[in-house]
Amino acid sequence: MAPMTDAFSAASVADPMIPRVARVVRRKREIADVVTLEIEGGAFDFAPGQFNMLTAFGVGEAAISVSGDPANRTRLIHTIRAVGAVSRALKELHVGEPIGLRGPFGRGWPMREAEGRDVIVVAGGLGLAPLRPALYRLFAEREKYGRILLLFGARSPADILFRDELEAWRGRLDIEVEATVDHARGEWCGNVGVVTTLLSRAQFDAANALAMLCGPEIMMRFVANALLERGVAQERIYLSMERNMKCAIGWCGHCQFGPVFICRDGPVFPYSQLRGLIGKKEI
Amino acid sequence: MIESIERIVQEHRFFAGMDAGFVALVSGCAKNARFDPGQYLFHEGDSADWFFLLRNGSVAIELRDPARGAVTVQTLHEGELCGLSWLVPPYRWTYDARAIEQVRAIAVDAACLRRKSEADPRLGYDMMKRFMPPLVERLQAARMQMIDIYGAHD
Ligand SMILES: Cc1cc2nc3c(=O)[nH]c(=O)nc-3n(C[C@H](O)[C@H](O)[C@H](O)COP(=O)(O)OP(=O)(O)OC[C@H]3O[C@@H](n4cnc5c(N)ncnc54)[C@H](O)[C@@H]3O)c2cc1C
Ligand code: FES
């Protein structure tokens, strides 16, 4: 009899609702309640900004963006924050344990459209995770872009995700990295204030800039408004949206957001498409 | 000396486009100031006799909490305004302002500027229009910080 892994893999070709089984090969605690899992079990192709449905067996499935390097096709990296039953179970997975996987799903960041432009990447909190594959791609193909700015906001210094990597990027001369926190005690010497304050000091060519935003919706709304005020076209301000997912393939309607399905048409959308919807209490 | 402070005032982002006559009036109340890292520009409860327009360096706005010590709620940088309490009675600082690094600033004598604004409401209105945007921005920022947007919410 074929091993269970193969049976699942074969089935996943036929039925996109059946997860294949992969294995956790590395687990890293990032900050409180957030871990990064590295997964093996096949070749993984994805575009920056796409997500997978991850299963904690016996508990359920959750949509989780890929946070690793798209150039690495043998190992899949996801960064997960424990907020409920599924994400908590995923966070507790240990090295060697199986994990279910469907995907990748959705449309990612507009990497091609960003070419030849100044790129402003604005991340809030865990929003840095879905943007990290785009950053790896931008850095790998640095010559294709104008200025690259990474503006990152977190709740406090202890909540800064991928801190070592941010430090390393900050040391590069060909990108600008600024971080800010909402509150800090004496030991923090960096910026304090909402992420929009970083934007007001940032230098870029608004007429030829493209922005990628990921974070809490309210933060993206304020950042988008600040970018519009600076003269960035609404068609070139991209946001990654989150809604509850069930099927992730446009069947169930769970993730419907006005006329679009987040799973199929997004999660990345230009602001021009969301403008009338985002911020509304109910759609 | 007066001439050079006029030029500095005129070139500061905060006074961009200001009428030359008003620049002269403001400059008459202004002087240069310098603060070493760690030095306080002012303390909570003190009388708000001056406000500062930052030319270089950064300033931390701190609130003192007996349980947690000093909590920084905002940092201010080159080109920004430090101090709004001078505008509204009883003209007392409601927070501490600490230089994070070497700071150079234009210090404006608040009582002097209030007097001139009373005497010439056009100057007062011009100043209000310049102070209102940072005031509103800080109010919005405080609201965002208050709702803790990055926290996990049920
Ligand atoms: C396209 C997409 C990409 C995503 N990428 C990631 C990712 O890379 N990493 C990651 O950790 N999560 C990501 N999420 C969010 C993740 O899917 C949800 O947090 C997850 O579904 C929670 O499932 P749960 O069963 O653990 O919690 P639930 O039982 O669904 O929720 C438990 C509680 O947590 C609250 N909650 C749910 N989601 C969030 C949230 N995102 N932030 C704060 N509170 C929340 C709920 O309101 C509820 O009160 C993504 C979501 C989408 C749609
Ligand atoms: S999750 Fe089912 S339609 Fe999007």
Q: For B32-39, what is the mean pLDDT?
A: 96
CA–CA separation, A267 vs B118, rounded Å? 55
Chain A to chain B Cβ contacts (< 8 Å): 69
Instruction: Express each pLDDT in B99-140 by its tens digit.
Output: 999 999 999 999 999 999 999 999 999 999 999 999 999 999
Please give the order of strands across the beta sheet that includes B69-76: A184-185, B69-76, B59-65, B96-99, B40-42
CB-defined site of ligand 1, < 6 Å: A 51, 62-65, 79-81, 83-88, 126, 129-130, 242-243, 245, 267; B 152-154
Looking at residue B114, its pLDDT comes to: 94
User: Is the confidence metric ipTM above 0.95 for this complex?
Assistant: no
User: What is the pLDDT, as a whole number, of residue B65?
Assistant: 85
CA neighbor of A37 nearest in space, from A2, A67, A14, A1? A67
Distance between CA atoms of A37 and A134, rounded to whole angstroms?
18
pLDDT score, position B87: 86
| pLDDT surpasses 80 at B43 | yes
Q: Which residues of B touch A159 (CB under 8 A)?
A: 150
Model confidence at B66, pLDDT cuts 50, 70, 90, reads confident
CA–centroid distance, residue B136 to ligand 1 (Å): 33
User: Is A153 in the B-facing interface, judged by CB distances under 8 Å?
Assistant: yes
Residues of chain A with pLDDT under 70: 1-14, 281-283
Could you give the angle at which helices B121-147 and B20-27 cross, rounded to 10 degrees? 80
Judge whether residue B38 has pLDDT over 90. Answer: yes
Question: What percent of chain B is modeled with pLDDT above 90?
Answer: 77
Q: How many helices (H) and strands (E) does chain A have?
A: 9, 16
Q: Are A5 and A21 in contact (CB under 8 A)?
A: yes
Position A240 scores a pLDDT of: 96
**Across A88-97, B55-64, B145-154, least confident range:** B145-154
**Looking at B1-154, which runs of residues are DSSP E strands?**
30-35, 40-42, 50-56, 59-65, 69-76, 81-82, 96-99, 103-109
Instruction: Note the pTM of the prediction, 2 decimals.
Output: 0.90
CB-closest option in A33, A197, A201 to B141? A197
Q: Tokens 């299963």 — which residue?
A: A55
Kindly tell me the burial class for residue A117, based on how many C-beta atoms sit within 10 Å of its own C-beta (0-12, 13-18, 19 or more).
buried
The predicted pLDDT at position B150 comes to: 87
* Alpha carbon nearest to ligand 1 atom 46, residue: B154
CB-based burial label for B92 (10 Å; 0-12, 13-18, 19+): middle
More confident residue, B152 or B28: B28
Q: Which of A17, A241, A257, A263 to mutate to test ligand 2, by most ligand atoms within 8 A of the CB atom?
A: A263
Say whether B73 and A124 touch across the interface (CB within 8 A): no
User: What is the sign of the dihedral through the CA atoms of B46, B48, B54 and B59?
Assistant: positive
Residue B1 pLDDT more than 90?
Answer: no
Tell me the shortest Cα–Cα distance from A91 to chain B, in angstroms: 15
